[in-house]
Amino acid sequence: MTKPCFRFAPSPNGHLHIGHALSALLNVRAAVALSGRFFVRVEDIDQTRCTPQLEQDMFEDLAWLGVPLDEPSPRQSEAFPFYRAALEKLQDLGLVYSAFLTRSEIKTFVTEYEADGNTWPRDPDGAPLYPGDLAVLSEEDVQIRADSDASFALRLDMKKALARISSDLCWQEAGAEGKSLFDPGNRVPVEADRWGDVILARKDTPTSYHLSVVVDDARQGVTDILRGQDLYHATSVHRVLQELLGLPEPRYRHHRLVLDADGRKLSKSNQDTSLSALRADGLSHADLRRRIGL
């Protein structure tokens, strides 16, 4: 059996919060319990929001947590050629198209559509599904944008993608806390159509979260993905991309989220739950474990 390999994959686009601490520690614990590997991956494809200072602060937080940092920590910003190659593979399969509507054009379209009491479909994160350029623009306008320097996103044609793969595609959800790490868990059917035509890259960013995460997990030999419940539904998109790109299927475990006092998801901008701010205020390891329920 291959040695299990876990990763913690934060984005240094803000300070880590105590929910990240839970995720990192669960990964380390699982890797130790299964005599597996563990490494940190820096997900810094958003080069405007991720900064060297935030990355350094992140590593200080992780060292304080006792997260082992002896394995190299690959950076996504150094792996763009790998994402480009994967994107080209999907383009060669005829599954990628340029989409020219801006966020505000999509928003206006949806608002107008819903003004009559209709409901426009939304993805599991609550974002409206892409309506297609022609829902807003004429064919001529699309051509003008294509011929100009207009910004665009490269989207996966989800209908065409799903037609290429088995209709009973699933993922293996092994569960997180409260379940034995040896419990294989259960198969969860993929529902990628709920996401519509997801973004794979943009004019100025040659990849997206979905594309880079599947490419990296495969090339870095990750066998076990243990991450927050907020990414549970994204697994459907990841399984579709793995199938299309011929990548191996990892095991998934989605863990509970640490919520704020109002029961909301933590945000990186909130100082009350920022690890570095709490540490500066004298947070102890025992306080932290209590706050995150470990």
CB 133 within 8 A of CB 99: yes
Q: Does 227 bind ligand GLU (CB under 6 A)?
A: yes
Residues 127, 181, 231, 283: which binds ligand GLU (CB under 6 A)? 231
Q: Does 27 bind ligand GLU (CB under 6 A)?
A: no
- As measured in angstroms, the least distance from the Cβ of 254 to ligand GLU is 10
Q: Does 222 bind ligand GLU (CB under 6 A)?
A: no
Q: Does 99 bind ligand GLU (CB under 6 A)?
A: no
CB 181 within 8 A of CB 30: yes
Single out the segment in contact with ligand GLU by CB under 6 A; choices: 5-13, 62-70, 182-190, 247-255: 5-13
Q: Does 165 bind ligand GLU (CB under 6 A)?
A: no
Could you tell me where the DSSP H helices lie in the chain?
A: 18-33, 52-65, 80-92, 103-115, 139-147, 158-164, 209-219, 234-245, 275-280, 285-292
Q: Does 43 bind ligand GLU (CB under 6 A)?
A: yes
CB 51 within 8 A of CB 247: no
Single out the segment in contact with ligand GLU by CB under 6 A; choices: 4-12, 98-106, 126-134, 284-292: 4-12
- As measured in angstroms, the least distance from the Cβ of 110 to ligand GLU is 25
Side chain identity, residue 58: M
d(CA 242, CA 38): 21
d(CA 205, CA 188): 32
Interface ranges with ligand GLU (CB under 6 A): 9-11, 43, 213, 227, 231
